Structure 1
Amino acid sequence: MRLPVGRWLIDCDPDTTRRCYAQLPVGTGCSCQQCRNFDAAAGRTFPPEFVRLLDTLGVDPTKPAELCHWCREPSGLYLTGGWFHLVGSIVAGKDLVEWVNNVGLMRFEELVPGLKFGFTSDLALVREVFAGLPLVQLEFETRVPWVLAEPEPED
């Protein structure tokens, strides 16, 4: 299936992607406080527009490959990045990662206020269920509320 998303044209296989995600547990496997909060905030982590995109691609929003917790913003929300893998390829559109003088610059697009995303063929931390498949990495930045009963981490 070919899907135009932002500046990209993605060739994707949602059914195979779904079968891969069905074999994975919820979360990244990390038990740090902020990753546990991300897992607990499921349903409030991503705006509906991004959840619909993930569903179209066959990606389970509760199973990111990796999370990066950047900071607590003045709004009280936590700026969080991460990525998912999906079966497919980038047919057209400039890769999310632009290399300049050996430094990777991220050229995200904003889907809705508070959520940026992009596709790259530069893969990291690919889980075994995806071994041997053609893959695209979907990176994101979002804002996550603190929902755990325990105190928030110190900055």
Structure 2
Amino acid sequence: MLRNTKIDVEGTKAFYHAYHQITQGCDCIYCKNYVIATELLPNAVKVFYQSLGIDPTKEGEVSEYCKNEDGSHLYGGFYHVKGRIISGPDCWIKTSEKVSHLETNNLVEISGIKFGFTHGVSLLLDGFPNPAVQLEFEGNIPWVLEEKA
């Protein structure tokens, strides 16, 4: 279940509006594909991102994990949101003092993409408004580039 959060949608949206696309910080084929493929995300996922003020083509940390048999690719990563967590399970569980793992039972699926909030904020960009929380995501994204991975 997604955590109960208090989000400043307009503050988040203002940051993303002013920031550059992911591909301006990384020109790898996987990020290029991801940015273009965000146009094909299910409407429910687009609405979810919009409800938080997130532009999924910008700022986030995006990683491609593997190619699936159907040609899609498993991606994961995170975005930052201006706000704070009120209650609910964290999607990252500490297993020892220095080790954590993504707890998939604490993720919510929206049209095939899994999401969860965490207190742990990584790689927060200078100028991102505080307080900030992190939205993790994981899901299969279609391969849309003519160039093969």
Query: Given the two structures, how large is their TM-score scaled by the length of structure 1?
Result: 0.86
Distance 2:84 2:52 in 1: 12
Distance 2:3 2:60 in 1: 21
Higher alpha-carbon deviation: 74-83 or 57-66 = 57-66
Specify whether residues 9 and 120 from structure 1 end up closer, same or farther in structure 2 by C-alpha distance, changes over 3 A only.
same
Q: 2:47 aligns with which of 49, 52, 59?
A: 52
Greater helix percent: which structure? 2
Structure 1 unaligned runs (5+)?
A: 1-5
User: Hey, which bits of structure 1, 4+ residues long, moved more than 3 A?
Assistant: none
The match for 2:95 is 100
Specify whether residues 38 and 7 from structure 1 end up closer, same or farther in structure 2 by C-alpha distance, changes over 3 A only.
closer
Q: 2:138 aligns with which of 114, 136, 141?
A: 141
Shift of 1:24: 0.6
Report matched runs for 1:69-108 at 5 Å.
69-101=64-96, 102-108=98-104
Report matched runs for 1:6-155 at 5 Å.
6-27=1-22, 29-44=25-40, 46-101=41-96, 102-108=98-104, 109-112=107-110, 114-130=112-128, 133-150=130-147, 152-153=148-149
Shift of 1:113: 5.1
Query: Which one-letter code corresponds to 1:39 in the other structure?
Result: V
Specify whether residues 113 and 43 from structure 1 end up closer, same or farther in structure 2 by C-alpha distance, changes over 3 A only.
same
Distance 2:112 2:47 in 1: 16
Shift of 1:76: 1.2
Query: Which one-letter code corresponds to 1:137 in the other structure?
Result: Q
Give a deviation string over 1:66-125, Cα, whole Å, max 9, x none: 111100011211000011100001100111110012321112323235211110111111
Shift of 1:40: 2.0
Distance 1:149 1:76 in 2: 12
Give a deviation string over 1:22-41, Cα, whole Å, max 9, x none: 11112251111111111122
Aligned residues of 1:64 and 1:82 also touching (Cα < 8 A): no
Query: Given the two structures, how large is their TM-score scaled by the length of structure 2?
Result: 0.89
Shift of 1:64: 4.2
